[in-house]
Structure 1
């Protein structure tokens, strides 16, 4: 593996780990809500409400 490939893989692993931590914290804060409902409420709403 080249140096750039190693750094890419390490960076990707760090991003996945951070995303996993945020998902775990969110699931603990909102136990009854599914991820699709959260995405719909927080992100899809912005795309539909263009002014």
Structure 2
């Protein structure tokens, strides 16, 4: 492996770990919310806008 490829793999692994930790923290703080409700509230809002 070249040094740049190793850096890419390590960087990607770090991003995955950080994303996992943030997800765990969010799920712990919002136990009562289901995933569908969370997606609707936070990510699907653009679908309900009037154009």
Asked if Structure 1 and Structure 2 have the same fold, meaning a TM-score greater than 0.5 normalized by the shorter chain, the answer is yes
Q: Give me the TM-score of the superposition, normalised by structure 1.
A: 0.78
Name stretches of at least 5 consecutive residues in structure 2 with no aligned partner. Answer: none
Confirm whether residue 33 of structure 1 aligns to residue 33 of structure 2. yes
Cα deviation, 1:5-50, whole Å, max 9, x if unaligned, reads 10110111111011101111111111122333212211111x2226
* Unaligned residue ranges in structure 1 (runs of 5+): none
Size of the aligned set, in residue pairs, is: 50
Q: Which has the higher contact order (CA 8 A, sep 6+)?
A: 1
The structure having more radius of gyration, on CA atoms, is 2
